[in-house]
Structure 1
Amino acid sequence: MLDRHARQIIDPPLNRIGQTLAAQGFTADGVTLIGLGLGLIAALMIGLGAPFWALIPLLASRIADGLDGAVARATRKTDFGGYLDIAVDFLFYGAIPMAFVLNDPATNGAAGAFLLASFYFNGTSFLGYAILAEKHGHKTDAQGQKSLYYSNGLLEGTETIIFFVILCLLPAYFPIFAWAFGALCFATATLRIYAAKQIYTS
């Protein structure tokens, strides 16, 4: 829901930095993997009981997630780059909740499992919608230039990052936030499936 507005703010500086990185020899895929490494470091720190300090690599990983596309636009966009980017994103999105569960399985286990199930459902509805949109030749650049169709929803990348930041700042409330955010993810996926039914049943 917030991605379109966030892109308008962050894309211009990211594009400038991306051009600089490309000139220095960085590749888009390399930046994607750097972002993944930072995200997994954040997950490790959360699992070890340092969620506040995990904010540093977590936010850095999301900056890298924005920069890989900027580097690609400054050099050459590839289908594999877009594929790698979305695969890495989903790994990151799963690693952070898993880290909270591993840190305190007794308290966070059930809520974490519910949250991960909601991510799985939401991610499937997102990728399935992208396949349908590609099949029917539908395009959108509402959330920036992407390698696949990005359908909007109640919860998108911006909301998920804000959610992870809140979890790191208030880890004791993980179960409450996880149940609530998971429910909204289920609602997002359900609404996306309903939208697909309205458009692609003919």
Structure 2
Amino acid sequence: MLDARLRPLIDPPLNRMGRMLAATGIGANAMTLAGFAVGLTAAAAIASGAFLAGFLLIALNRLADGLDGAIARATRKTDLGGYLDITLDFFFYGAIPLAFAINDPAGNALAAAALLTSFYANGSAFLAFAIMAERKGLSTGAQGSKSLYYLGGLAEGTETIALFLLMALLPGWFAVLAWSFAVVCFVSAAARVLIGVKALRT
């Protein structure tokens, strides 16, 4: 819901940094892979109870996720880059709730399972529509320049990262936050399905 509103604010500084990094020879795919490694390290930190380290590493992962696209815009966007970006993002989104479940199975596992299921539903609606949109030649620039059709919803990247950061700051509230956001994600998934059905009927 907030992604489109934030793009005009975050894209200009990211693009400047992307051009600087591209000039040094750093590639977009290398940044994607480095960011993913940082994200997995964040999950490992959370699983071991190092929540502040997890908070900082999540923030660094998201910075890298913004910079890989900025580097690609400064050089050349590729299908491989877009594929790696979205795929590793979803791996990361799954790793953080799992890390909280590993840290406290008795208190967090059920809430983490509900959150992951809601991510699965939301991601399925999102990615399946992107495939159909590509076949129909549909496009949108609402979320900035993307490698695939980005169907907006209540729960997008900004909200998810804000959730993860809040969880890392308040780990004792993980279950409450996870259940609450799972409800938001299920509503978002249902809305995306309805939007997708309407778009594909016309």
- TM-score, normalized by length of structure 1? 0.98
Quote the residue 1:159 is aligned against.
Answer: 159
Does residue 185 (structure 1) correspond to residue 185 (structure 2)? The answer is: yes
RMSD of aligned C-alpha atoms?
0.8
Paired letter, 1:75: T
Q: Moved runs in structure 1, 4+ residues, more than 4 A?
A: none
- Indicate the SS of the match to 2:145: coil
For structure 2, the residue ranges without an aligned partner over 5 or more in a row are: none
Q: How does 1:56-95 map to 2 (within 5 A)?
A: 56-95=56-95
Quote the residue 1:14 is aligned against.
Answer: 14
- Indicate the SS of the match to 2:69: helix
Quote the residue 2:101 is aligned against.
Answer: 101
Alignment length (residue pairs): 202
Q: How does 1:111-122 map to 2 (within 5 A)?
A: 111-122=111-122
- Indicate the SS of the match to 1:69: helix
CA deviation vs aligned residue, 1:105-144 (integer Å, no higher than 9, x gap) = 0110100001011111111110011111111111111111
Q: How far, CA to CA, are the matches of 1:169 and 1:151 in structure 2?
A: 30
Does residue 28 (structure 1) correspond to residue 20 (structure 2)? The answer is: no
Q: How far, CA to CA, are the matches of 1:63 and 1:48 in structure 2?
A: 23
- TM-score, normalized by length of structure 2? 0.98
- Indicate the SS of the match to 2:5: helix
Q: How does 1:117-156 map to 2 (within 5 A)?
A: 117-156=117-156
- Indicate the SS of the match to 1:143: coil
* Percent pairwise identity: 54
CA deviation vs aligned residue, 1:53-112 (integer Å, no higher than 9, x gap) = 211111011000000000001111101100000001000100000000000001101000
Paired letter, 2:141: D
Q: How far, CA to CA, are the matches of 1:34 and 1:144 in structure 2?
A: 23
Q: How far, CA to CA, are the matches of 2:53 and 2:85 in structure 1?
A: 25
Q: How far, CA to CA, are the matches of 1:44 and 1:171 in structure 2?
A: 14
Q: How far, CA to CA, are the matches of 1:139 and 1:200 in structure 2?
A: 13
